[in-house]
Amino acid sequence: MFRMWVKVKKDNHLLADTVIEDGSGRSRTAKVFAALEEACREFDLSVPIWLDVNVRDFQRVARTRFTADSFVEAVDFDFLEIQMIEED
């Protein structure tokens, strides 16, 4: 089972979080993108842009943070963090 934890933080406080599960046979990349989109829909946010630093961090430690620079619209939090909990 694929599970990804998505958190929204501001001033070291957790504002919102969710765990997205995906049992489909899609690739890991497709599951990550779909989970991020689903979480952003749940939090009523635009989907962030993957910068090079996000790709490197996620490939290296299965975790990354999207700051205000990654969003097209203004956001009222410090960062959105995604973290792998479990992979197939």
For 51-73, what is the mean pLDDT?
Answer: 95
**How, if at all, do strands 79-86 and 13-22 pair?**
unpaired
Q: Which helix (H) or strand (E) is 62 found in, with range?
A: none
Using pLDDT thresholds of 50, 70 and 90, give the confidence band for residue 21.
very high
Q: What percent of the chain has pLDDT over 70?
A: 100
Q: Give the pLDDT of residue 88.
A: 75
- pTM: predicted TM-score of the whole model, two decimal places: 0.92
How many domains is the chain partitioned into structurally?
1
Name the band, by pLDDT with cuts 50, 70 and 90, for residue 85. very high
Distance of CA 4 to the CA centre of its chain: 8
Structural domain for 33, as ranges: 2-86
DSSP string, 5-45: EEEEEETTEEEEEEEEEE-SS--HHHHHHHHHHHHHHHHT-
How confident is the model over 71-85, as a mean pLDDT?
96
Structure tokens at 37: 């989109």
